[in-house]
Structure 1
Amino acid sequence: MRNKNILALICALGLTTFTSSAQNLWPEVTKEMKPWTRWWWMGSAVDKQNLERELQLMNQAGFGGVEITPIYGAKGFEKRYINFLSDKWLDMLKVTTDQSAKLGMGVDMNLGTGWPFGGSFVTNEYAATKFFLDEIDLQKGAKLTFPLKVSDKKQTYSQLQALRAFKGNGAEINLDQYLTSTSGEWIASDNVKVIALFTGRTRQQVKRAAPGGEGMTVDHLGKASAKFYFDHFAHIFNGKNLNVRSFFNDSYEVYGANWTDSFLAEFERIKGYKLQDHLLDFSGKGTDLDRQARIKTDYREVISYCLQNNFLVPFTKFTNDHNALSRNQAHGSPGNLIDLYASTDIAECETFGSSFFNIPGLRRDKEDVRNVDPDPMMFKFATSATHLSGKKYTTSETFTWLTEHFKTALSQAKPEVEQLFLAGVNHVFYHGTTYTPNDVSFPGWLFYASTNFVTNNSFWDHLPGLNSYVTRVQSVMQSGVADNEILVYWPVYDVWQDTTSAFKTLSVHHVDEWLHPSSFYKQSVRLQRQGYSFDFISDAFIAKTKVQNKQLVTSEKANPYKVIYVPSTKYFSVQTFKNLLRLASDGATVIFESLPKDVEGYHNYEARRKQLADQVALLKLKSDVAHQYTKYGKGKIYVTTDVQTALETEQIFSERLVRTGINFTRRVVGNEVYYYLVNHNKRNVDQKVALNNVRKYYSLLDPQTGKIYNLPQQEGHIRLQIPSGYAWIVLASDEKKVEKDYNYIEILEEVNSFSQPWKLTFIKGGPQLPKAETLSKLSYWTALNKADMNKFSGIGVYETSIDLTKKEGKSYLLKLGAVGESARVIINGKDAGIVWSHPYHIEVSDFLQSGKNTVRIEVANLMANRMRDLDARKVNWKNYHEINFVNINYKPFDASQWKIMDSGLNGPIQLFSF
């Protein structure tokens, strides 16, 4: 009976302010703790009055800041366009930063328009670069005439960088003496295959560019090109106090950019041999597949180095020189994601599409979601980089294509953002908000891939519910440091070492190819399900890690880790293995699923293979024993497929609370520990648990309401009572924080109160306000099947009254039943709060009185029905340059054939006492 009744549990969802008693326990809110939003400036057609107006509205809705990204404009408004970085544009930036400062908000800025970095000032010399491997088959006696031209006829800027001829037996003829020849010929003495390595340009233009930002994409891999790009902005910004908190770089979508003009020199310097001496293998035409894979591994490692050291590190220096931070999305990059994320001040991941959550009643219509399944494990590459570096923030581009346009409810956003928090993200950016002047009619200006957190959205008045929740969670997630016990080594060389095409990007959309098949991924998932907390670590971070008191310290500001775990991997760096032995010798515990089998890469690999074998031999382990460990110096090394037993042997225990189905993450502040607990399962949780962090007192901070309570404990156990779709924050402390105990629900008794008719009126929205109705039976307003209601988007008000004999010592819970899609509850003229997510329940004890009570429920639906009407009447609201406006499958958008979405309040509404 208890589990059934707990569905009704808990308090008002989404109150927009903290209660005075809670202010002493919740961290003091900063602007970074509030959600921020990507603010698209269409055509940069902005003006002072509308900038200040929109910032004021966003501040009132609970946003803490904006990220300015200029993009293409709306047709018909060309005279309002402002060229990117012009004096007028910079004036508008100052208007934005000045108004934001007055409101206590922050401003980030894309260091470009659209994406990726580039612009009209980028010349061919500095444009995104690619290589061409042209093949020419010559018969004996045939001529090769110079100068050679690249096969791609569209190339206007190319250079021959290597030239080799290969006989049938693989013997190579070096023809590099002809690289700069402008005339002459070479005659083949045998039948040969000639391979010519050219460098050329991708010719990619900036996507979704704003006026003044059009042009070629810059070469992200070259030191000279990156310097050229940043110097351009440094010249424009010179002497200006921009008051921009950070500059932003979007996900790596520099399509086909796999080279830089200086790459061969970089490669030889880093790897110790010439790539051009191995063109047959590099081109995939050699017969030795192992050598091919090794050479391509070296190429990929050097590409990663170039992106990190030639672009991201200088990007961070540029931003810091301008009193700002660097913020970067590394996913999609051709490199070691952990190191790339860590190369800027703020690592940013991304959600794309929607996840399935088994929360009863949570809407997920298959025709309204993309055929993708976001993997939260992918987020941990960014959060791990933050935690290893001891930095404060991990951001996220959040809700990109969450559902089809105009069909995303706040309730659908909640579990999606909770997945980010559980992975360690603590500073979310919504995707997003489009600037719209006040004189542009509904629906205003809109971005094609957005969830549309815009002021014209009918859920805008209820958005403070979601934003307050995000703020409360982030206030905790930004406090202290992450509390993860384990470092899990990411074997990037296993990803790199293959014979596929040389260039390899690690994108969010292809994790089933490069991530899911690995033992690393499978063991990480297993550890998480068992209740362990961990971060990923790279070779570079292992090299920097030290041991203090037998714990692993990755940086001065990072929380120490208890153990490092190496999942089964084939290719391994000798230096990394030596570093692991060093850590063990200094007192650390290292656990291998299995010992590495081979070294990575090509240079001197036979000698390095012997070195690795010699290092492994130092452990003196038996080859025929499955589970074993050895003392090594002051520490231990395990080799076992049973990592949990090894961890428990080391007194590292999983959190048993996961057995209830609850997901969690932890933050440490001094000697206190915050647990963020989320129930994404279909069952409600009502169970006693013992937390690993044993303290004298436990407090509940309810992030949905802001209320706080003491959680009584019995013999080290506390009772969790968390309904499906709900979240708790539990603070473990040796100091008692609050006197009032949490009021657990034991039995719910229904109060038969709602027998009077309901008055339905409409107070805000369009295209016009429908006429009022009196309902003998509660229903969605769309169920009345009236034309004006079927096309209405906005707020409808349901009002009735109830008679109640309020009992002393009883609490009262109002269940709203089916809501389309969010509601504000007002009882006896007092605002009880916003109910915006599952479960649609609200604790209303403080608002009820004995006798007659008026109940007013203001329900906001979504924009869908109104957009359906616009398209059915062929109103031309989709009128943009560039991509214009598309649906979730990137087809022309048309809502005219949509089914009418249920809107309003369907109930049943029930009042319970407990």
Structure 2
Amino acid sequence: MERTYLEQLRQPAAAARGKTRWWWYGCRVDKDNISYQLDQMQEAGIGGVEIQILYALEAGSRENLEYFSPGFFDILKFTGEEVHKRGMTMDLTLGSSWPFGGPFVPFVKSAPVVYPYAIDVRGPSVFSYDFTNRMAGEIVGGIMGRMEDSEMLPETIQDISSLLEEKLLFSWPWGTQLKNLEVPEGNYKIVIFLAGQFREHVLMPSRGAQGYVIDHNDAEASRFFFAQAGTPLVERLGRGMVQSFFCDSLELFGHNWTGKIYDEFEKRRGYSLKPYIYALWGKVKGMTEEIRYDFHKTMSELTIENFFSVMTEWCHEMGSTSRIQAHGTWGDILQAYGAADIPEGETFSEWDKYSVNTVHRRLASSAGHVYHRHIISNESFTWLRFPRFTETPEQIKIAADSIFVDGMNQIVNHGYTYSQKDGEPMAFYASSHICHTNTWWKYYKNIGRYINRVCDFLQRGEPVSRICIYLPQHDIWAENPLGDIHMCMKLEERLETSVIDGIAREGYWFDYVNDDVLGRWEEYSYETLILMETDRMPVKTAESIQSFAMHGNLVICAGRLPSQGCGLLQKDEKDKIVSTLFEEMRRQGNLIFAENKKDALLNILKQRVCP
């Protein structure tokens, strides 16, 4: 017999209990303290742990366990058994700390950082140049083109890669030189593109876990990482011991390239990137934004296919699920989150008040809704107060409410710091101190019970959104030069926090949507689509929006109508189709135009849509 709501509230499902990140400094842990702390968590209503092993507090201590040493595997297996004994769950961050990498990652599978080395020359002349000791790294391209009004003229671009020669020192490869390049008349720019030899390493790892971060666009690099950092763990711990393997936020500093980009770009976009690579930093006349769009679109597809999806596939092979924080990626953010079994957002800073958190929460929950993920988790209470130890249970409870209102239905505390039972209290630098060494810990069980009830209630239901907001990701790709674009931050800056928060405060619940969702709009319950700060979109998306409107749904465009297609090939034709479709919708009354995305948009919503 089905339980009543009151019975559910009195006895919420154990699976919906809150979880916590569990910091293990240098893997300096012992079995007695592990058992003690798990007892503390269980009593406080915490239903699962996410172990993240990071830097040692005393680097020289012999008690620090070497990464992947026999003692390392032994203590993890013991912990998993103790966790399961108590009816709790264990999640694990692969490697040590974040992003994914380690000592086994060779340079060729690490995350490339490409930058230009430019020289201005005037012709007619014959030009030679010795790059030796003036730049360090692998040359991935070289072009020369005539400049006019600070733009490179596309018809003058030459690929000069074949003219670059290796320079030897006593028969050893030492550098690169350019010899006898004929420069035509006029002002020219030579640009050599380098994949630098200095690349990101894992941030704050434990002993023995240092090393390069992997190329997140390369499936071979991803598979190699999971085979080295993950499969041995499963072999020793057993399938099912780890419920979810966790990927923390993608803090990929400078990662902007992949070795397969030329082949993949041409295959996916239909033309060669090599002649036009300068557009990624400078301007190529009449082509800059289209080439940048095509490049970032390609990188997006590679990242989602070759990292996010590969991680989930590997987790399933190991009998586990994937839990992924996708913020930090340059890719289609909803697809990136949606590739995970459990998309996870994040909350940091003073969020013990409600405001829509686009960057770290609403995008994650929207992805969970549109890709039908039952659990949407949230790394919670990071930096809730600074200095540390000043956050209160009241602030934590209110912060949890703001997380729930943004659509998340699983709390992961940030977090619980491993400390010796009778030793000095330890605390992670960015974490709220939610563990047994806090003076108010004995009261946390009240919050734990509350979190369990709310999460259980939310997980039993289905999200219902009648309004959706289109993400102008194509414009961000087109307008940004080469870099490790943080798509979530760029979207919030473009849409504006005050605008999105204003919509929510008027009582309008909404999801963010992308092209994939609009292409299948009949599968969803949306009745109103809002477009703002959108100039570009694929022709197929414009056609889907027209179909959405013709079936009696409301389309609101704020500020301006979309007027451009996406990408370099057939640009004029695509621009005309997109522009014509939206002008027709406006003329036929299938679209309402708002003069701005603030007051005018809200007034139309109030007139036409019930909160």
Report if the CA contact (8 A) 1:31-1:65 is conserved.
Answer: no
Q: Where do 1:35-184 residues align within 5 Å?
A: 35-75=18-58, 78-138=61-121, 140=123, 141-144=125-128, 151-153=134-136, 155=137, 158=138, 160-168=139-147, 170=153, 171-178=156-163
What amino acid sits opposite 1:270 in the alignment? R
1:185 corresponds to: 179
1:454-484, CA deviations, whole angstroms, 9 ceiling, x for partnerless residues? 2111111111122122112112121121122
What amino acid sits opposite 2:540 in the alignment? Q
Looking at structure 1, the residues matched to 275 and 516 of structure 2 have their Cα atoms a distance apart, in angstroms, of 28
Looking at structure 2, the residues matched to 535 and 22 of structure 1 have their Cα atoms a distance apart, in angstroms, of 27
User: Which protein has the bigger helix share?
Assistant: 2
2:532 corresponds to: 567
TM-score (norm 1): 0.60
Identity in percent: 26
Classify 1:316/1:202 alpha carbon distance in 2 versus 1 (closer, same or farther; 3 Å).
farther
1:828 corresponds to: none
Classify 1:27/1:383 alpha carbon distance in 2 versus 1 (closer, same or farther; 3 Å).
farther
* 1:607 is aligned to 2:585: no
Report if the CA contact (8 A) 2:536-2:564 is conserved.
Answer: yes
Shift in Å at residue 121 of structure 1?
Answer: 0.4
Looking at structure 2, the residues matched to 212 and 504 of structure 1 have their Cα atoms a distance apart, in angstroms, of 28
Q: Secondary structure in 1 aligned to 2:67?
A: coil
* 1:384 is aligned to 2:349: no
Shift in Å at residue 100 of structure 1?
Answer: 1.3
2:173 corresponds to: none
2:171 corresponds to: none
Report if the CA contact (8 A) 2:13-2:452 is conserved.
Answer: no
Q: Secondary structure in 1 aligned to 2:46?
A: coil
Looking at structure 2, the residues matched to 640 and 62 of structure 1 have their Cα atoms a distance apart, in angstroms, of 49
1:526 corresponds to: 502
Report if the CA contact (8 A) 2:252-2:484 is conserved.
Answer: no
Looking at structure 1, the residues matched to 133 and 87 of structure 2 have their Cα atoms a distance apart, in angstroms, of 56
Classify 1:571/1:63 alpha carbon distance in 2 versus 1 (closer, same or farther; 3 Å).
same
Looking at structure 2, the residues matched to 433 and 354 of structure 1 have their Cα atoms a distance apart, in angstroms, of 19
Shift in Å at residue 647 of structure 1?
Answer: 6.1
Aligned positions, number: 583
Aligned-residue RMSD, C-alpha? 2.9
Higher-Rg member (1/2): 1
Looking at structure 2, the residues matched to 112 and 322 of structure 1 have their Cα atoms a distance apart, in angstroms, of 16
Looking at structure 1, the residues matched to 314 and 134 of structure 2 have their Cα atoms a distance apart, in angstroms, of 38
Report if the CA contact (8 A) 1:45-1:80 is conserved.
Answer: yes
State which drifts further: 637-646 or 186-195: 637-646
What amino acid sits opposite 2:610 in the alignment? F
1:221-264, CA deviations, whole angstroms, 9 ceiling, x for partnerless residues? 22221121122235414643251110111111111000111112
State which drifts further: 341-350 or 525-534: 525-534
Looking at structure 1, the residues matched to 10 and 575 of structure 2 have their Cα atoms a distance apart, in angstroms, of 53
Report if the CA contact (8 A) 1:27-1:475 is conserved.
Answer: no
Shift in Å at residue 561 of structure 1?
Answer: 2.9
Q: Secondary structure in 2 aligned to 1:456?
A: coil
Shift in Å at residue 101 of structure 1?
Answer: 1.3
Shift in Å at residue 43 of structure 1?
Answer: 0.9
Report if the CA contact (8 A) 1:395-1:429 is conserved.
Answer: yes
* 1:337 is aligned to 2:302: no
Classify 1:180/1:243 alpha carbon distance in 2 versus 1 (closer, same or farther; 3 Å).
farther
Classify 1:151/1:253 alpha carbon distance in 2 versus 1 (closer, same or farther; 3 Å).
farther
Report if the CA contact (8 A) 1:150-1:198 is conserved.
Answer: no
Q: Secondary structure in 1 aligned to 2:451?
A: helix
1:351 corresponds to: 347
Question: Of residues 449, 460, 485 in structure 2, which corresponds to 1:505?
Answer: 485
Classify 1:283/1:33 alpha carbon distance in 2 versus 1 (closer, same or farther; 3 Å).
same
Question: Of residues 455, 459, 480 in structure 2, which corresponds to 1:474?
Answer: 455
Looking at structure 1, the residues matched to 215 and 95 of structure 2 have their Cα atoms a distance apart, in angstroms, of 14
1:415 corresponds to: 398
Classify 1:119/1:104 alpha carbon distance in 2 versus 1 (closer, same or farther; 3 Å).
same
Shift in Å at residue 206 of structure 1?
Answer: 0.8
Classify 1:186/1:604 alpha carbon distance in 2 versus 1 (closer, same or farther; 3 Å).
farther
2:191 corresponds to: 195
Report if the CA contact (8 A) 1:426-1:474 is conserved.
Answer: yes
1:836 corresponds to: none
Shift in Å at residue 112 of structure 1?
Answer: 1.6
1:438 corresponds to: 421
What amino acid sits opposite 2:589 in the alignment? Y
2:174 corresponds to: none
What amino acid sits opposite 1:379 in the alignment? R
Shift in Å at residue 355 of structure 1?
Answer: 3.6
Report if the CA contact (8 A) 2:127-2:183 is conserved.
Answer: no
1:268 corresponds to: 266
Shift in Å at residue 339 of structure 1?
Answer: 1.8
What amino acid sits opposite 1:144 in the alignment? S
Looking at structure 1, the residues matched to 288 and 358 of structure 2 have their Cα atoms a distance apart, in angstroms, of 33
What amino acid sits opposite 2:267 in the alignment? R
Looking at structure 1, the residues matched to 472 and 113 of structure 2 have their Cα atoms a distance apart, in angstroms, of 27
Shift in Å at residue 273 of structure 1?
Answer: 1.9
Q: Secondary structure in 2 aligned to 1:615?
A: helix
Shift in Å at residue 64 of structure 1?
Answer: 0.8
What amino acid sits opposite 1:395 in the alignment? S
Classify 1:234/1:77 alpha carbon distance in 2 versus 1 (closer, same or farther; 3 Å).
closer
Shift in Å at residue 506 of structure 1?
Answer: 2.4
Shift in Å at residue 525 of structure 1?
Answer: 3.0
1:535 corresponds to: 511
What amino acid sits opposite 1:653 in the alignment? C
Shift in Å at residue 323 of structure 1?
Answer: 1.1
Unpaired stretches in structure 1, ≥5 consecutive residues: 1-19, 359-372, 548-552, 555-559, 623-627, 631-636, 655-914
1:465 corresponds to: 446
Looking at structure 2, the residues matched to 39 and 234 of structure 1 have their Cα atoms a distance apart, in angstroms, of 19
Report if the CA contact (8 A) 2:471-2:491 is conserved.
Answer: no
Shift in Å at residue 267 of structure 1?
Answer: 1.6
Q: Secondary structure in 1 aligned to 2:589?
A: strand
What amino acid sits opposite 2:507 in the alignment? G
Question: Of residues 643, 653, 667 in structure 1, which corresponds to 2:610?
Answer: 653
1:283 corresponds to: 281
Q: Secondary structure in 2 aligned to 1:571?
A: coil
Shift in Å at residue 189 of structure 1?
Answer: 3.3
1:312-370, CA deviations, whole angstroms, 9 ceiling, x for partnerless residues? 01011011111111111111222222221111111111111114749xxxxxxxxxxxx
Shift in Å at residue 77 of structure 1?
Answer: 6.9
Report if the CA contact (8 A) 2:73-2:233 is conserved.
Answer: no
Report if the CA contact (8 A) 2:329-2:486 is conserved.
Answer: yes
Classify 1:262/1:135 alpha carbon distance in 2 versus 1 (closer, same or farther; 3 Å).
same
Q: Secondary structure in 2 aligned to 1:416?
A: helix
What amino acid sits opposite 2:34 in the alignment? L
Classify 1:178/1:230 alpha carbon distance in 2 versus 1 (closer, same or farther; 3 Å).
farther
* 1:577 is aligned to 2:542: yes
Shift in Å at residue 209 of structure 1?
Answer: 0.1
Unpaired stretches in structure 2, ≥5 consecutive residues: 168-176
What amino acid sits opposite 1:382 in the alignment? A
Classify 1:391/1:40 alpha carbon distance in 2 versus 1 (closer, same or farther; 3 Å).
same
Classify 1:204/1:568 alpha carbon distance in 2 versus 1 (closer, same or farther; 3 Å).
closer
What amino acid sits opposite 2:37 in the alignment? E
Report if the CA contact (8 A) 1:202-1:255 is conserved.
Answer: no
Question: Of residues 224, 228, 239 in structure 2, which corresponds to 1:228?
Answer: 224
Classify 1:442/1:378 alpha carbon distance in 2 versus 1 (closer, same or farther; 3 Å).
closer
